[in-house]
């Protein structure tokens, strides 16, 4: 074997090994890329599944509320109305200014108050105005009911603001309902503002109050934490939205909700 032939052999072997090494590197890189793509796909599927479950849960919750509101209205409401009628008939047989008549009047007042409460609770459970007249009308009604001598609630709604997805309306209504209820129950606020606006292809909702504020970290860590704020986060996760708490003890709260509007998943998930 000549020196030339030996060198050729070494060269060929080196080239073959190099080619093999390149092939292995390309194969490993390709495999890793496939693996990463697969993981991204699995994550996307899991997220989609979670969102669908959450959307189904909230649909179920609305259906359950509707059933409760119907039972309350039809069964309890009707029974209370019949009881009131019977009491009215009885009252006619009682002597004027007698203690029995006074007692009957007191009972009627109690029945009236209970009937009013039943109506209020069923209205809160199923906002019929929302279904019939849309989000703006339902929010105006909510604001009207919340306003009184102690609390001033305002709704700021931009002109030419047209919300069309009914399920998104229900979500927004429930979020406003919770935030306004919180401001009334916990903040001791005298002014509450509900502001809707569009900002950078996002629907934004801000609920502001001038109450005592709170520590959000404390609330999150608290074992006796309520469901309201957590529900808002879960509702928003269905539409890739999120909520920001600009809050602190000793000053009014600003809670801002952001929902991306150009989200192709949004309509599919909500309808
Ligand atoms: N606007 C607010 N001002 C002051 N404190 C608030 C406000 N909103 C919420 N909080 C505080 O945050 C806590 C958590 O609110 P969250 O709505 O999650 O539960 P909750 O209202 O206590 O109960 P639930 O909503 O389940 O009836 C409240 O208990 C309250 O201490
Ligand atoms: Mg609450």
Provide, rounded to the nearest whole percent, the portion of the chain with pLDDT above 90.
Answer: 70
Q: Are residues 95 and 11 in the same domain?
A: yes
C-alpha 231 to ligand 2 mean position (Å): 9
What was the pLDDT predicted at 115?
93
Q: Are residues 120 and 142 in the same domain?
A: no
What was the pLDDT predicted at 165?
73
Section 233-248 average pLDDT: 94
Q: Are residues 109 and 209 in the same domain?
A: no
Q: Which of 124, 214, 255 to mutate to test the pocket of ligand 1 (most atoms within 8 A of CB)?
A: 214
Provide, rounded to the nearest whole percent, the portion of the chain with pLDDT above 70.
Answer: 95
Q: Are residues 141 and 267 in the same domain?
A: yes
Q: Are residues 115 and 175 in the same domain?
A: no
Q: Are residues 139 and 264 in the same domain?
A: yes
- Record the tokens describing residue 61, joined without a space: 């919750």
- Which one of 74, 102, 126 terminates a domain? 126
Residue 270: pLDDT band by 50, 70, 90 thresholds?
low
What was the pLDDT predicted at 201?
83
Q: pLDDT (tens digit, 9 = 90+) per residue, 35-67? A: 999 999 999 999 999 989 998 998 999 999 999
Section 104-108 average pLDDT: 93
- Residue 153 · residue 143 · CB < 8 Å: yes
The CATH number of whichever domain residue 164 belongs to comes to: 3.30.565.10
C-alpha 152 to ligand 2 mean position (Å): 19
Q: Are residues 241 and 142 in the same domain?
A: yes
Q: Are residues 145 and 109 in the same domain?
A: no
C-alpha 179 to ligand 1 mean position (Å): 8
Q: Are residues 122 and 140 in the same domain?
A: no
Ligand 1 atom closest to the Cα of residue 209 is 1
- Which one of 63, 97, 126 terminates a domain? 126
- Residue 231 · residue 182 · CB < 8 Å: no
Residues 80, 83, 89, 92, Cα dihedral to 10° = -80
Task: Say whether pLDDT at 103 is over 90.
Answer: yes
Q: For the sheet containing 202-209, what is the strand order?
A: 152-156, 191-199, 202-209, 254-260, 242-246
What was the pLDDT predicted at 110?
95
Domains held by the chain: number: 2
Inter-CA distances, 253 with 73, 126, 172, 243, Å: 36, 27, 19, 13
Section 236-242 average pLDDT: 91
Residue 264: pLDDT band by 50, 70, 90 thresholds?
low
Q: Are residues 159 and 260 in the same domain?
A: yes
Average pLDDT across the chain, whole number: 90
Residue nearest to atom 13 of ligand 1 (CA): 219
Ligand 1 atom closest to the Cα of residue 253 is 1
C-alpha 180 to ligand 2 mean position (Å): 9
As a whole number of angstroms, the distance between CA 77 and CA 229 comes to 31
In this structure, the residues whose C-beta lies within 6 A of any atom of ligand 1 are 182-183, 186-187, 209, 211-214, 219, 226-230, 253
Section 110-137 average pLDDT: 91
Residue nearest to atom 3 of ligand 1 (CA): 187
| Nearest ligand (C-alpha, residue 231) | 1
This prediction has a pTM of 0.80
What was the pLDDT predicted at 215?
96
Ligand 1 atom closest to the Cα of residue 183 is 1
Q: pLDDT (tens digit, 9 = 90+) per residue, 133-170? A: 999 999 999 999 999 999 999 999 988 776 667 778 99
Q: Are residues 253 and 158 in the same domain?
A: yes
Alpha-helical segments (H) within the chain: 3-71, 78-92, 99-125, 128-133, 135-146, 166-182, 216-221, 228-237, 264-270
- Record the tokens describing residue 99, joined without a space: 């203690």
Provide the domain limits for residue 86: 1-126
| Nearest ligand (C-alpha, residue 252) | 1
- Which one of 126, 148, 179 terminates a domain? 126
Q: Are residues 151 and 218 in the same domain?
A: yes
C-alpha 12 to ligand 1 mean position (Å): 76
């Amino acid at each position: 074997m000549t020196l030339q032939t030996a060198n050729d052999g070494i060269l060929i072997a080196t080239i073959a090994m190099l080619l093999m090494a390149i092939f292995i590197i390309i194969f490993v890189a390709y495999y890793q890329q496939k693996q990463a793509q697969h993981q991204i796909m699995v994550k996307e599927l899991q997220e989609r599944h979670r969102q669908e479950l959450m959307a189904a849960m909230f649909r179920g919750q609305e259906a359950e509320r509707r059933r409760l509101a119907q039972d309350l209205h039809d069964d309890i409401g009707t029974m209370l109305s019949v009881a009131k009628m019977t009491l009215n008939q009885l009252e006619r047989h009682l002597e004027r200014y007698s203690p029995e008549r006074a007692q009957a009047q007191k009972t009627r007042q109690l029945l009236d108050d209970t009937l009013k409460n039943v109506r209020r609770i069923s209205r809160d459970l199923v906002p019929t105005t929302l279904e019939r007249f849309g989000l703006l009308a339902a929010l105006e009604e909510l604001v009207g009911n919340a306003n009184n001598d102690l609390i001033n609630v305002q709704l700021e709604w931009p002109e030419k603001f047209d919300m069309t997805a009914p399920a998104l309306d229900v979500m927004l209504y429930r979020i406003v309902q919770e935030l306004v209820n919180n401001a009334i129950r916990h903040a001791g606020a005298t002014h509450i503002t509900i502001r809707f606006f569009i900002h950078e292809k996002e629907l934004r909702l801000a609920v502001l109050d001038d109450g005592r504020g709170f520590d959000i970290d404390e609330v999150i860590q608290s074992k006796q934490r309520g469901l309201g704020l957590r529900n808002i986060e879960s509702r928003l996760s269905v539409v890739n939205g999120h909520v920001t708490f600009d809050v602190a003890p000793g000053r009014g709260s600003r809670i801002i909700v952001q929902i991306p509007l150009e989200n192709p998943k949004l309509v599919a998930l909500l309808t």
